[in-house]
Amino acid sequence: MRRRSFLKAGAASAILAATSLPSCKTSRKIPEITADNIPMWKGFNLLEKFSGQTNEPFQENDFKMMADWGFNFARLPMSYWTWGDVNDWSKIDEATLKHIDQAIGYGQKYGVHVNLNFHRSPGYCINRGELEPYQLFEDKEAQDATRFHWRTFAKRYKGIPNYDLSFDLLNEPPNISEEQHNPVMLSVIEAIRDADPDRLIVVDGLAVGRHPIVGFADKNVVQSTRGYDPMRVSHHEASWIPGSDTWPEPNWPLTTDEETVDKAKLRQRLIEPWQEVIAQGVEVHVGEWGAYNQTPHEVALAWMEDLLQLWKEAGWGWALWNLRGSFGVLDSDRADVEYEDYQGHKLDRKMLELLQAYV
C-alpha cells in the first residue's frame, strides 16, 4: 500500500462517507453530556461486527429489549475489516456504514446511547493483531489509517448529540508505556476533534483496559476499564485463553493455592487504582465484563453481584459482554440454567434480574 495513493484515495472516500448522515431530529430535551458529566450508562455489547468474520446489520429488537428492561447503553465493538480493507486502508464500504447509521437510529428511537468502538483498528487488535500489515504503536502507516477512519466517522456523525453517541477509540490497548501509547492516541483524538470538536470520546485503559492513563486525565475524555478479574472465574474453560481448560472449577470467593480473591480484593484491584485519575475529574465506565458460560451459574451470579455492588459504590456504569451469546442473558448455552422462552430467544431470567437490580 503506497502512502501517496492512500492519502489521495482517502480524501475522496471521506467526502463520500460524509454524505449519508443518520437523522438526529428529536422532540426530546437533550441534556448536555460532557466527559466530566456522563449519565449512569448500563447495558450490553452487541457483536454483529466485532470479529470481522461476519458483517450483519445490528438488530432493532436488541435495542427495544434493552430499553424495555431498563437499560440505556449499547457498546458496539467493531472490526474495521467490516467497512474497510486490510490490503488498502483507503477503502471505505458505504453499505457497512449504513448498518452503523441504522444502529445509531435504533438507539435514538429507544433511548439507548450508542458507543462506537474500534475493536480492530488499522494496525491493532487484541485478537490476532499480527494479521495487520503495519502496527499501530510502531508504524506511521497504521497511525495515518486509524486517524483517517476515525475522521471519517467524526465527519459522518457530526451533529448527533453526545446524549446519543460516543466514540471509544481502541479496544484494550496492550501493556505498553504511556510514552508509547499517548502520542499515538492523542493524534487520533485531535483528528476527531478537528472534524467534530464536541464529540464525547472514550479511551480504554492500558494493559487491556486495566490501568488508568494518568497522562490523559486532562484530555477531556472518559476512561474505560474492564471487569474480568479474576480470570479463573470470568474465563473458565474459554478456548481462546491458553491453559484455562486446566483450571479447577471455580468457586466464589475464589480460593487457590496462591491466594483468596473476594470482594475486598476486587475493590483493591479494580477500583482503587483508578482513584488518582478520578481525583482529577475523570469519569470511568466499565466497557466490558462478565463470565463465560463454563463458569457454574451460581458462582457467576455471586461474583457478578459483588462487582455490581462495587461499581454502584463507585458510581460507574457498565456494559456486559454480551447481550446474546456465551456471556449474556440471552442464548448463552449454559448447561446449568433453566431458560425461559423469550421472543425467540432463551432468556437467563436470574441473570437479567440481577442486572436489573443495579440499573
Distance CA 101, CA 152 (A): 13
Largest CA distance in the chain: 59
| Chain segment 17-69, per-residue pLDDT in tens | 333 455 444 445 777 899 999 999 999 999 999 998 999 999 999 999 999 99
- What does the pLDDT look like over 199-243, one tens digit per residue? 999 999 999 999 999 999 999 999 999 999 999 999 999 999 999
Contact (Cβ atoms closer than 8 angstroms) between residue 50 and residue 119: yes
Q: Tell me the whole-structure pTM to 2 decimals.
A: 0.93
Burial of 91-109, coded b for 16+ CB within 10 Å and e otherwise, reads ebbeebbebbbebbbbbbe
**Over the range 10-44, which residues count as b (16 or more CB within 10 Å of their CB) and which as e?**
beebbeebbeeebebeeeeeeeebebeebeebbbb
C-alpha cell at 92: 471505505
Domains of the chain: 33-356 (3.20.20.80)
Nearest to 78, CA basis, from 156, 167, 11: 167
pLDDT tens for 280-334 read: 999 999 999 999 999 999 999 999 999 999 999 999 999 999 999 999 999 999 9
Evaluate whether 176 touches 138 at the Cβ level (below 8 Å): no
CB atoms closer than 10 angstroms to residue 124:
23
**Spatial distance between the Cα atoms of 321 and 310, rounded to a whole number of angstroms:** 18
How far apart CA 179 and CA 185 sit, in angstroms, is 11
Q: What is the SS3 assignment for 7?
A: helix
